[in-house]
Amino acid sequence: MEARTFTFAHPPQKMCLESGATLGPVTIAYETYGALNAEGSNAVLICHALTGDAHVAGNNGAGNRPGWWDTMVGPGKGIDTEKYFVICSNILGGCMGSTGPCSINPETGRPYGLSFPLVTIGDMVKAQNALIDHLKIERLLAVVGGSVGGMQVLEWCVRYPQMVVSAILLATTMRHSAQAIAFNEVARQAIMADPNWKGGDYYQGPKPDLGLAVARMIGHITYLSDKSMSFKFGRKLQDKSDFSFNFEADFQVESYLRHQGKKFVERFDANSFLYITRAADYFDLKRQHGQGSAAKAFSCSQARFLVVSYTSDWLYPTLQSRAIVTAMKKNGLKASFCEIDSTLGHDAFLLPDKRLSPLIKGFLEKALP
Amino acid sequence: MEARTFTFAHPPQKMCLESGATLGPVTIAYETYGALNAEGSNAVLICHALTGDAHVAGNNGAGNRPGWWDTMVGPGKGIDTEKYFVICSNILGGCMGSTGPCSINPETGRPYGLSFPLVTIGDMVKAQNALIDHLKIERLLAVVGGSVGGMQVLEWCVRYPQMVVSAILLATTMRHSAQAIAFNEVARQAIMADPNWKGGDYYQGPKPDLGLAVARMIGHITYLSDKSMSFKFGRKLQDKSDFSFNFEADFQVESYLRHQGKKFVERFDANSFLYITRAADYFDLKRQHGQGSAAKAFSCSQARFLVVSYTSDWLYPTLQSRAIVTAMKKNGLKASFCEIDSTLGHDAFLLPDKRLSPLIKGFLEKALP
């Protein structure tokens, strides 16, 4: 594993964003695994979800933190780093090394905060594309991602169709439903309600940790399923035999959520949470690339697709994956679809699963020239 | 409509609570509609849900506010106030006239705040029972309620079985799932994260409005359904033709949620929200009344039941209503069950529906001696 950064759009150049705003210089933090072959035909780009980062596999030098998809990516694994040159970068707007709202604005010498321009999924992919150019890779054997990472994969396929040989989409959607937007909006409101947020200008003082923790807890409920929560927690009490009759965490599920909230604020920037959820809410493949038609959006694509959904994913339910496949098929594209029976909810795509690894392994092997 | 209050547990008496704590004096705000007949056999008690109050029907003197179930309760309506003597009281722990955390603690001369003891659904029903005694009513022709109101109905049936002739349960449950607890917990955390909450002691200064608004927004998502939100809002933008590329309310669903949050803080007390959601989470009919068995819980009940669920209610799904009916049937009780096909989610029970009114009307007529 090699962790590096790449900076582009140096002054006087700037990156043009979908909103019309410009941004620069732009740094993208990325990691690579394995080696690019002589033909440059074995590159696999992995796009991370909302709160992920470039560290997709292996253990980091610092802290020995395992990668967020270490169960899938590595020697001999579903995405085999002995066969493929795997690249994963932190998204634009993120807070794990790539330029985002917590980065220093070179024009003021202070963190951007809310002066950071709104970035879209398209902008994130455009920045990834600059990185791929920099790595001198002409075509990607596969672009892979789940959830908000899957949105980036979709964007790659329609924005740079000639560069994508194959694509793997997990637990994703062409656009958020009203309910998905609603959950994100409430999470954002929780952050902005925290007085430490200070209009996004909190980098010199205390952070809006309480608001961000609530935002994370809201998210967590949507990542699990009613069934998995019943199975995992039910109404079990936390280290006690009866109710406390106060507002302590009596139920295990309460204590789990509080813990998730607390852990999250140590590693994530509240403004990045705002920007990335907003980008996900704005994402609308039909509207942005198909003049309202999903089929039209894929009209230039040449990739082979693997689309995977999970039965208990109620954030991006199977119906939404089926709609993606239907749009692909209307263009005569090769698209395999698999709905995995799981009680684990949306999070299932991140968890070890004995069905997913061989599925991805087989799909990638067929894609190899 | 007559709005009155009744106060009991005057010093040195106190009301004994399920937690072991005591509370007194206790005031219950209530309204009555219609007249009690000579036999005292036409009394119908309506139990309100989380954020309701005693004003179930008609227009108030002040503000001409319509009752929260005015579509169902009134002359000639589903619950006909020309036939029945209808009673509705604000629950113990509430903030609409009954004793709750915002009431003055006579021992300190200041609002209770968090020194208010935790009350349970059982305590709420015990207080309602004191009111019914005070009104010199020996038996209730019907106890009716939806959601958290339905929990109170269940509690009435098992706690005072000889007093309940019939019961109507709408969109309710015998106990919260882990997911339902999770949503309540996150809402509570949003309130407690607001620095204006000050450990519940905010009555002299600014209120935790921002936290309470977020809590309400979270609730609102669970009261609607994915379908109803798609139908009502979809991805429609609010008074604009394109994205703002900032954090304004671009989508109609965002602006709707913000509005719901803002409206709510004008009428509700944040501490009451904490106490009532906690009572709902604690409620567990099996555990508290059946030694773990739902059937056992109903063993002393003599009532006739009408249980109604809604297809799109994912907070208290139909499965949970079916479990209630099964437990009743195991005791040979007469229980009619109706699942109403609706896209409106949990909130459906509060909304006008041409099927529900005749259903309730017919059921009550059969219950009349």
Contacts of B119 in chain A (CB under 8 A): none
Give contacts of A 254-273 with B, CB under 8 A.
254, 257-258, 261
- pLDDT at A65 (0 to 100): 85
Alpha helices (H) along A160-208: 178-192
* C-beta atoms of A251 and B193 within 8 A: no
- pLDDT at B122 (0 to 100): 98
Separation CA B183–CA A20 (nearest Å): 38
- pLDDT at A2 (0 to 100): 85
Separation CA A210–CA A265 (nearest Å): 8
B77: phi then psi, degrees, rounded to nearest 5: -85, -175
Residue A102 has pLDDT above 70, yes or no: yes
Residue A14 exposed, middle or buried by CB count within 10 Å (0-12, 13-18, 19+): middle
Q: A327 at the B interface (CB within 8 A)? A: no
DSSP H or E run through A46:
strand A43-47
Closest CB to B193 among A194, A247, A253:
A194
Which of A261 and A65 is assigned the larger pLDDT?
Answer: A261
The string of DSSP letters for B9-70 reads --TT--EEPTTS-EE-SEEEEEEEES---TTS--EEEEE--TT--S--SSB-TTTTPBPTTT
Q: Give the pLDDT confidence of A3-56 residue by residue, as tens digits.
A: 999 999 999 999 999 999 999 999 999 999 999 999 999 999 999 999 999 999
Query: What is the domain partition of chain A in residue ranges?
Result: 2-176+282-367, 181-277
A358: phi then psi, degrees, rounded to nearest 5: -65, -35
Q: How many residues make up chain A in this entry?
A: 369
Residue B40 has pLDDT above 60, yes or no: yes
Candidates A24, A6, A5; CA nearest to A107 is A24
Question: Rounded to an integer, what is the distance from CA B188 to the centroid of its chain?
Answer: 17
The CATH superfamily holding the domain B2-176+285-367 is: Alpha/Beta hydrolase fold, catalytic domain (3.40.50.1820)
Separation CA A368–CA A67 (nearest Å): 25
First CA to last CA across chain A, in angstroms? Answer: 25
Residue A315 has pLDDT above 90, yes or no: yes
CATH, range A2-176+282-367: 3.40.50.1820
Closest CB to A193 among B211, B249, B284:
B211
* C-beta atoms of A117 and B175 within 8 A: no
Candidates A184, A188, A87; CA nearest to B235 is A184
- C-alpha dist (Å) from residue A323 to A226, A264, A295: 24, 33, 10
Separation CA A185–CA A237 (nearest Å): 31
First CA to last CA across chain B, in angstroms? Answer: 25
Q: B240 at the A interface (CB within 8 A)? A: no
Give the other-Cβ count within 10 Å of B210's Cβ. Answer: 26
Average pLDDT estimate for A351-365: 96
B147 flagged as catalytic:
yes
Average pLDDT estimate for A271-299: 96
Using the Cα atoms of residue A142, residue A148, residue A154 and residue A159 in order, give the sign of their dihedral. Answer: negative
Candidates B330, B315, B279, B331; CA nearest to B170 is B315
Closest CB to A251 among B117, B181, B217:
B181
* C-beta atoms of A226 and B179 within 8 A: yes
Percent pLDDT > 90 in chain A is 96
A291: phi then psi, degrees, rounded to nearest 5: 45, 40
Average pLDDT estimate for B267-289: 97
Beta-strand ranges (E) seen in chain B are 2-8, 15-16, 22-23, 26-33, 43-47, 73-74, 79-80, 85-89, 104-105, 110-111, 142-146, 166-170, 304-310, 335-340
Average pLDDT estimate for A150-178: 98
Give the other-Cβ count within 10 Å of A2's Cβ. Answer: 8
Both structure tokens of A341: 């029976």
- pLDDT at A251 (0 to 100): 97
Give the other-Cβ count within 10 Å of A352's Cβ. Answer: 9
Q: B248 at the A interface (CB within 8 A)? A: no
Q: What angle do CA B323, B329, B333 make, to 5 degrees?
A: 125
B127: phi then psi, degrees, rounded to nearest 5: -70, -40
Residue A60 has pLDDT above 90, yes or no: no
| Structural domain A181-277, CATH architecture | Orthogonal Bundle (1.10)
Q: Give the pLDDT confidence of A127-148 residue by residue, as tens digits.
A: 999 999 999 999 999 999 999 9
Residue A96 has pLDDT above 90, yes or no: yes
Candidates A94, A232, A253, B196; CA nearest to A261 is A253
Candidates B292, B175, B174, B268; CA nearest to B219 is B268
**Contact in structure between B346 and B315 (CB atoms under 8 Å):** yes
What is the pLDDT of chain A when averaged over all its residues? Answer: 96
Average pLDDT estimate for B264-270: 97
Q: A192 at the B interface (CB within 8 A)? A: yes
Q: Give the pLDDT confidence of A235-259 residue by residue, as tens digits.
A: 999 988 899 999 999 999 999 999 9
- pLDDT at B68 (0 to 100): 96
Place of tokens 């470039």: A54
* CATH number for domain B180-277, candidates 1.10.8.100, 1.10.1740.110, 1.10.1660.10, 3.40.50.300: 1.10.1740.110
Separation CA B333–CA B298 (nearest Å): 9
Percent pLDDT > 90 in chain B is 96
Separation CA A49–CA A350 (nearest Å): 10
Candidates A144, A151, A145, A95; CA nearest to A123 is A151
- pLDDT at A59 (0 to 100): 80
Separation CA B102–CA A191 (nearest Å): 27
B256: phi then psi, degrees, rounded to nearest 5: -60, -50
**Contact in structure between A158 and A297 (CB atoms under 8 Å):** yes
Confidence of residue A157 (pLDDT cuts 50, 70, 90): very high
Q: Give the pLDDT confidence of B96-133 residue by residue, as tens digits.
A: 999 999 999 999 999 999 999 999 999 999 999 999 99
Mapping DSSP to helix (H, G, I), strand (E, B) and coil, where does residue B158 land?
A: helix
Q: Give the pLDDT confidence of B208-224 residue by residue, as tens digits.
A: 999 999 999 999 999 99
Residue A63 has pLDDT above 70, yes or no: no
Candidates B56, B16, B13; CA nearest to B32 is B56
DSSP H or E run through A7:
strand A2-8
Half-sphere exposure for A273 (CA within 13 Å, toward CB) = 29
A55 flagged as catalytic:
no
Give contacts of A 79-118 with B, CB under 8 A.
114, 117-118
Contacts of A235 in chain B (CB under 8 A): 175-176, 178, 181, 284
Q: Give the pLDDT confidence of B42-83 residue by residue, as tens digits.
A: 999 999 999 999 999 998 655 578 999 999 999 999 999 999
Candidates A17, A190, A7, A11; CA nearest to A103 is A7
Letter for the amino acid at A154? L
Average pLDDT estimate for A262-274: 97
Confidence of residue A309 (pLDDT cuts 50, 70, 90): very high
Beta strands A79-80 and A85-89 are unpaired
Separation CA B218–CA B257 (nearest Å): 9
B88: phi then psi, degrees, rounded to nearest 5: -140, 130
Name the catalytic one among B80, B225, B346, B353.
B346
What is the pLDDT of chain B when averaged over all its residues? Answer: 96
Q: Give the pLDDT confidence of B134-177 residue by residue, as tens digits.
A: 999 999 999 999 999 999 999 999 999 999 999 999 999 999 99
Both structure tokens of B14: 């106190």
- pLDDT at B81 (0 to 100): 97
- pLDDT at A61 (0 to 100): 57
Q: B233 at the A interface (CB within 8 A)? A: yes
Separation CA A146–CA A316 (nearest Å): 11
Name the catalytic one among B194, B269, B284, B313.
B313
A346 flagged as catalytic:
yes
Separation CA A201–CA B49 (nearest Å): 40
Residue B195 has pLDDT above 60, yes or no: yes
Residue A239 exposed, middle or buried by CB count within 10 Å (0-12, 13-18, 19+): exposed
Region of residue B32 (left: phi > 0; alpha: psi -120 to 50; beta: else): beta
Which residues, other chains included, contact A12 with Cβ-Cβ below 8 Å and sequence gap of 6+? none
Contacts of A221 in chain B (CB under 8 A): 179, 182-183, 186
